Amino acid sequence: MEERWDTDEFGASHEGRVGVLLADGSVPKPVYFDGASAYGTTSNLWVYYDGRRFHGPRADALRAVCSCGWVGEGRTLDWEQIGETPLREGGEDAADACFEDWDQHLQAVERAAVPLPQDLIALLEEVVSRIDALTADHPVAGVRAARRLEVLAAQVGVAAHGAAHASPDEVAPALGISVDAARSLLARLGGWSVYSTAFEETGAF
């Protein structure tokens, strides 16, 4: 099982994990595990890079890696201190530092995104709080409120899409997401197929 980090807002555009560096500074290949069937499995989970039998080569350092291409600084592993302790335990501090690095990266992405008015943020948070309170007392009413919010979001999304007149290349950095994610978002807000949207942008449709 892989260990990955993400957020609701940025999703797969900024999915993070702990990456591995070897002593020569290279990135090792995924570790291959033989399976009971004809096909084995592979994993790049950092805990397997301890140099032990049937595992990957020994990691020299861990670093945060993000799906957007960003990488954090290497966090050197002290193997004299780790000794025979399983890497999941011996490298825990380094892995935690990687998560903190990725979290700071996410904060930078959020700061670079187009800002929202503070009063609007407060209003949205109040709506969520009110629906949560309603759900606690009247669950079905909470469902209706959530559904109503879903309808309103769709309506607002269509209006915003129509007013923006922006391409995925313009929207992506403003929202802190990838171009592909921006293309899917614009298609969804506008009620188009993502494929037809791509054709329209390239002039092939």
pLDDT at 140: 97
* 185-197 pLDDT, tens digit each: 888 887 776 665 4
* 148-186 pLDDT, tens digit each: 999 998 888 888 877 767 788 989 999 999 999 998 888
pTM listed for this prediction: 0.81
Q: How far apart are CA 50 and CA 61, in angstroms?
A: 11
Q: From residue 142, how far is each of 126, 151, 166 by CA, in Å?
A: 14, 14, 35
pLDDT at 175: 93
Q: Which of 112, 127, 30 is nearest to 68 (CA)?
A: 112
Q: From residue 172, how far is each of 109, 175, 186 by CA, in Å?
A: 11, 5, 10
Residues in Cβ contact with 163 at an 8 Å cutoff, skipping those fewer than 6 apart:
none
pLDDT at 159: 82
Domain ranges of the chain: 11-112, 118-202
Asked whether residue 97 carries a pLDDT value surpassing 70, the answer given is yes
Residue the block writes with tokens 């990725």? 102
pLDDT at 198: 46
Asked whether residue 205 carries a pLDDT value surpassing 50, the answer given is no
Q: From residue 169, how far is each of 16, 174, 179, 201 by CA, in Å?
A: 22, 9, 6, 11
Confidence band (pLDDT; 50, 70, 90) for 88? Answer: very high
In the predicted model, what is the mean pLDDT of residues 129-144? 96
pLDDT at 197: 44
- β-strands 61-66, 75-76: how paired? antiparallel
pLDDT at 53: 87
**170, 114 in Cβ contact below 8 A?**
no
Mean pLDDT of the chain: 89
Asked whether residue 39 carries a pLDDT value surpassing 60, the answer given is yes
**59, 49 in Cβ contact below 8 A?**
yes
pLDDT at 42: 87
pLDDT at 38: 61
